[in-house]
Amino acid sequence: MNAQAPIGQQVVDQLHLEHMRVTSIPYRSTNMVIFSGVPLAKNSYKINSGKYFVTIKADPDSIPVQPALGQHWSVKGARLVEDMESGDFVMQQHTYEAPEHIECSLPETGEQLIRFIAREADFKGIGESKARALWELLGRDFHTIARKDTSTSRKRLRRVLSEDSIDALFEGYARYKNLAYCNWMSQNKIPASIQQRLLKHHGEKSIKAIKQNPYVLIGFGMSFTDVDKLVESDQFEITSCDHKRLSAALETAIRKEIEKGHTCTTQAALRPHLTKLLRDNEVVTEAFKAGHDKAQYILNPDTGTYHPTAQLLMESVVAKRLKALASQNNLYDEYANSAYCYAVDELPYELTKKQIEAVTTCLDNAVSCITGGAGTGKTTVLRTALRAYHQMGFEISAVALSGRAAMRLHESIGFTTSTIAKLLRAEPLEPNSGQQNHLLVVDEASMIDLPTMYRLVNHIHPSVRIIFTGDPDQLPPIGCGKVLADIVLSRAIANTMLDIVKRQDGSTGIPEYSKLINQGIVPEKLSTGAIHFHETTKSNIAHVCCDLYQQSPENSRVMAPTKALVADINKLAQEAVNPNGNRLEFEMHGERFFQCLRLNDAILFTQNHYDKGIQNGSLGTLTSVQSSGESYGEVTLDMGDKVEITQSVLDCMELGYAITLHKAQGSQFPRIIIALQKGRIVDRAWLYTAITRAESEIHIVGSPDDLRVITETHSNSHKRNSYLVELLRQN
């Protein structure tokens, strides 16, 4: 479509119904898709009018399938009519923004279908002549044949199509065979993302599953309130006391507790959630019975705690696997001693008594932990233990949760490392003819939540030894559970807690400072060694952080507790250090649109794109804003890899001069600037974790009173209910 410019407009409020064939998709993101096309007469392939075109702006989650060229759509809603200048003539544009009803339809008649298949990119290699031959062969049987890839179907199709074209036909049609179900679900306000999950699980029985029990949608991501609204329509015969509804309400309440990090809970904690959803105390009591009948939880009679079935299963499996490994001890023999001596001889310095204990503990036990704060020598111990294990012929797999942490681990131990996500996508870790002995190292284990730990132990053979390293006093994982803290607390797994090494001349003082904070002690001197405290009013924190960042941009990162403060500092930092960089841009409807991102900006990614080497929390620099086709430019990651900016990548890019602490966990930076601000999530563990992100220099910005209150108040971080400790302690 040529570039158009609006020259006048008229809003038409009443509802309109129009049919169109998609001819362009000028914009697509996770938040919005814009597609345009020529109007069609109803049930016809013929263009209704050449005087206007139809444009639809919609949330991708509200439409049944993603738009593609050649598709037929019908749209109903209020429309905006604009006169658009297109070269030397004027055309009308009918725009439907967030329309009331929208559906995609598969062409039914011969000519429609021929054009659709020939023009739709999904049917690769099938042009108009092949499409016409298909229609002549199959006629009205086309949809029946294309729905199922069977040997009988293929035999019939071979009369007019090659094997490659048959593959393309079935692959192309797969996107559309569930279209009728998708249209029905979209009509009932079921988001597209939930539709896809449901179809993946239930396939052609999806609508039947919903009609049998609409609350099944909660398991696929829909809220209880939204399903309740859906149930209000006449097509469902479900009362307010129906056990399907009540067990769904309980599932929602349990999930709220799990989102807080708990793996078990109490009736007292669940009841307020249920009361809010069901608004009737008697019905609430009935919901507990409904959940019990459906085995949604196990009630512990001794403690009165409610254990969600899935979480209890995961904790039981993790505990069983770790206890089985823990029973394999007293492994330190002459062979291990020889490997230990080899590893120690390689060191340029002597180990402390505690470090020797930690190394020998790792060699003596099939599962062990090395724990301690910053500067306690965890890396030295791990490097020595791994050198000994390597000498004993073990294959070493070392993992961390984030890409930056994995890179840092590689730099410190010298062995190949990867992210946990990458390990879980690879072949399971197990003995084979080439390699009998395996060791798995899990670094920064305080960040590992229960579901991740469960997947890990199921991905490795029971004989694989494990070493956990980490600091249980840091912030707990984002997901539920607190695996490392529970392992340490249980005393069921061999653990060496390393303490502060004697302070060396010229050291930063960071380990000592962080230890005091962790103990709830306010340091006598707020500024000491490489730690600098900048007393600042709350309103001026962002500006001071920005000034400090400017002093050494290449080495610095700002940590802030809230997304709002992060956004403020990012904006100020960009204006200060990169005010004139070329802005990232894209074209839409012939117009240029600019992003707030500029060439040479620090970039943070907020979603996982494992296929592109990006994780939630990956950092990099915007190194190109040259757009070409579907690419808008390039980001160079901190680890050196380059990432092409497509629309899906762009959707998860933000400025990264300042980041939240959760995004920084597992990473370290030479120079840290901490924006200290009292708030719900800022406690002793938060400050302690922030301080331990620094390699050599720290700047704390805020008020001394806030620092004192935050340090002296007990941390809430580990007040998570979990059952793993008890399971590990059981004989």
CA distance 212 to 189: 18
CA distance 482 to 258: 12
The per-residue pLDDT for 5 is 46
Place of tokens 């029946």: 144
Higher per-residue confidence, 288 vs 668: 288
CA distance 334 to 624: 57
pLDDT at position 1 over 50: no
Cα distances (angstroms) measured from residue 178 to each of 72, 300, 504: 15, 44, 68
Q: Which amino acid is at 183?
A: N
The per-residue pLDDT for 243 is 93
What average pLDDT does the segment 66-91 reach?
81
Higher per-residue confidence, 658 vs 614: 658
226-236 pLDDT, tens digit each: 999 999 877 78
pLDDT at position 264 over 70: yes
What average pLDDT does the segment 248-272 reach?
95
**Sequence-distant (≥ 6) Cβ neighbours of residue 47 within 8 angstroms:** 21, 38, 39, 40, 41
The per-residue pLDDT for 261 is 94
Higher per-residue confidence, 12 vs 546: 546
Higher per-residue confidence, 719 vs 1: 719
386-428 pLDDT, tens digit each: 999 999 999 999 999 887 788 888 888 989 899 898 899 999 9
For residues 254 and 296, the answer to whether their CB atoms sit within 8 Å is yes
The per-residue pLDDT for 505 is 53
For residues 628 and 678, the answer to whether their CB atoms sit within 8 Å is no
What tokens were used for 221? Answer: 């991501």
Q: Across all residues in the chain, what is the average pLDDT? A: 89
CA 73 to chain centre: 32
The per-residue pLDDT for 3 is 41
195-249 pLDDT, tens digit each: 888 988 888 889 999 999 999 999 999 999 999 999 987 778 888 899 999 999 9
What average pLDDT does the segment 479-505 reach?
87
What tokens were used for 470? Answer: 């980490």
Phi, psi of 67 (to 5 degrees): -65, 145
For residues 189 and 230, the answer to whether their CB atoms sit within 8 Å is yes
683-728 pLDDT, tens digit each: 999 999 999 999 999 999 999 999 999 999 888 766 899 999 999 9
Q: Virtual CA dihedral for 719, 725, 727, 730, nearest 10 degrees?
A: -140
What average pLDDT does the segment 630-654 reach?
88
Phi, psi of 62 (to 5 degrees): -100, 0
pLDDT at position 2 over 70: no
Place of tokens 């653990």: 495
The per-residue pLDDT for 186 is 86
CA distance 592 to 594: 7
What average pLDDT does the segment 164-180 reach?
81
Q: DSSP secondary-structure letter at 614?
A: B
Q: How confident is the model at residue 629 (pLDDT cuts 50, 70, 90)?
A: confident
For residues 648 and 563, the answer to whether their CB atoms sit within 8 Å is no
Q: How confident is the model at residue 189 (pLDDT cuts 50, 70, 90)?
A: confident
Q: pTM (2 decimals)?
A: 0.82
* Start-to-end C-alpha separation, the chain: 72
The per-residue pLDDT for 403 is 78
321-368 pLDDT, tens digit each: 999 999 999 999 999 999 999 999 988 889 999 999 999 999 999 999
CA distance 346 to 363: 17
pLDDT at position 449 over 90: yes
Ranked by mean pLDDT, which of 12-16, 43-47, 179-183, 193-197 comes out on top? 193-197
Ranked by mean pLDDT, which of 546-560, 578-592, 633-647 comes out on top? 546-560
* Percent of the chain with pLDDT strictly greater than 70: 94
HSE, side-chain direction, 13 A CA sphere, residue 350: 2
CA distance 395 to 681: 41
CA distance 410 to 389: 16
Q: How confident is the model at residue 52 (pLDDT cuts 50, 70, 90)?
A: confident
pLDDT at position 498 over 90: yes
The residues with which 213 forms a beta bridge, in sequence order, are none
Phi, psi of 148 (to 5 degrees): -125, 125
294, with CB counted inside 10 A (0-12, 13-18, 19+), is middle
Q: How confident is the model at residue 589 (pLDDT cuts 50, 70, 90)?
A: very low
